[in-house]
Amino acid sequence: MIERSSIKHDKGPLYLYYLRDDKYCIRLSSRKSDVRKVRIWYCEKYDNKLLKINGILKSVEMKKVYTTNESDIFLGVVPFKGITFSYFFELIDESNNSLYYGNFSFADKPFNDVMDMFDGVTYLLTKTSIKANKGFMGGVIYQIFVERFCPTDEVSENWYTAPIKGELRTNGTFKGITSKLDYLKELSVDAIYLTPIFVSRTAHRYDVEDYFALDPLLGTEDDFKTLVNKTHKKGIKVILDVVFNHTSANHFAFQDVIRNQSKSEYKDWYFINKYPVKIEKNANYKCFSTAAYLPKLNTDNEMVQKYLFTACKKYITEFNVDGFRIDVSDEISFDFLRKLNKLCKDLKSDFMIYGEIWFDPTLYLSGDMFDSFMNYRFYDLIRKILHKDITLDQFNGYLQDMYSRINVNAINSILNLVSSHDSERFFYQVHENYDLFKMGYAMLFLLPGATMLYYGEENALGGSTDPDNRRGMDFNRNKETFDYIKRLSEIKHIEVFKYGSFNVVYCDKDIYVI
């Protein structure tokens, strides 16, 4: 007997969305091994009278695409060119008994009234569904920590310091990156993702003081334009890391608050709990985490939006960058993100926006905020299976659950990773075990999604947690890892790995075949 309480479907972006060419994807989940087959029955909403008389229903069979540790996930595609379609599900168990589900109610026979069905308004669905950005699907995105990648001339004396401290300044530059474009091309890189490049007082530059000025320690505007232009000539795109959740405490607006307190014209740019405002531990204003030097911006404030959107426009129109990675994006207002999306797409229709999301991304993949996200869930699963914190069967269930929660249009664009500037280096994670290193990277490159390769990983660069994971780049090749990742990157560009899906053929405690 089908467990009714396990049946899940609603009209949210996870369960109902537009695909393309007048086709709509519908998702339903049930208890694992409970439902043998599912059909979607549907009709034009405004044919209700004809439905009752003639039974003018059409149907499509759903496919069981994913099996998690607890649930089976069915997906179905409904072709429809009208205004609104009404639909319900026929759930068939192992004994061939049917149960019908529509409008959050169950019945033993098919529905013949649209009031008992779910409905999909096509105009709204087409306006709120994420669209596949083919230029970034299945690509290899190379993350560069700009301060530590490559200098213009000789490396600074402290370049190879290990372990490295966060406040240590080295001499990486835009010109240095430009000089290594052939190296990146050899790795079949499709885009470079640069950590923040704006005026700041730290090596990481997530404490932005001026959104309109490039940090002169990295080079001039002409240097950056040259980098972008030459990168584009190599067929490589440029993504900027942008910080909208917070500013530096040295930002002009926050400094005005410090000087003028409650009389400051910028006081509503931030979240002030009480006055007087002081930059000190246990700050009396909201900030990123507990970092008093990073006061949190009020991204619902119209003046904040105008200020940041003007900066965004500059980097798209004057420098021709191809995308943004938005730092701490799940703590920024939806209103801001929707307006930002529209601004960027109006300026450049194929502009790519990645969100930094460590948890469930569903809310952000409705087509009006992000095109993709940094998939830290993938990072977590790879780490756990290689450390044997979970079994292969559990890994399989969690992995399928992860993919089942992503819009089909976005699956090949999600930014999978096993390390970044916010995590331990992968070679460190696997205790310098080459077999585990290769196993992790094989899964990273060959499972659906784009691949994020953190600088130096191809040479097994070491480093524990932040800040030691941000060491100076070493271009002396580790032949074993470099050649392996180079080959994986070549394979990633085969069409089936760029745009395809996956099926689990076999899984037990020792073997995983896809």
User: Would you state the structure tokens that stand for residue 129, as one six-digit string?
Assistant: 């569904």
DSSP 102-160: ETTEEESS---SGGGSEEEEHHHHHHSS----GGGTT-EEEEE-GGGT-BSSSPPTTTT
User: Would you state the structure tokens that stand for residue 48, as one six-digit string?
Assistant: 């209700």
Contact yes or no for 148/40 (Cβ under 8 A) = no
| Helix%, strand%, coil% for the chain, nearest 5 | 35, 25, 40
Contact yes or no for 257/267 (Cβ under 8 A) = yes
CA distance 395 to 240: 33
User: What sign for the dihedral angle of Cα 128, 132, 133, 139?
Assistant: positive
Considering 356, 371, 424, 468, which one is annotated as catalytic? 356
Contact yes or no for 264/256 (Cβ under 8 A) = yes
Catalytic residue at 10?
no
Beta bridge partners of 79: 23
Catalytic residue at 280?
no
CA distance 411 to 508: 26
CA distance 251 to 69: 48
Q: Which of 122, 53, 54 is nearest to 86 (CA)?
A: 122
- Count helices and strands (H / E) in the chain: 14, 22
User: Would you state the structure tokens that stand for residue 2, as one six-digit string?
Assistant: 């089908």
Contact yes or no for 35/25 (Cβ under 8 A) = no
Residue 388 backbone dihedrals phi, psi, to 5 degrees: 60, 35
CA distance 100 to 90: 5
Q: Tell how far CA 240 is from the center of its chain.
A: 14
Q: What is the Cα Rg of the chain in Å?
A: 25
Considering 327, 330, 424, 468, which one is annotated as catalytic? 327
Residue appearing with tokens 């790795």: 187
Q: Is 211 helix (H, G, I), strand (E, B) or coil?
A: strand
What positions carry a catalytic annotation?
Answer: 327, 356
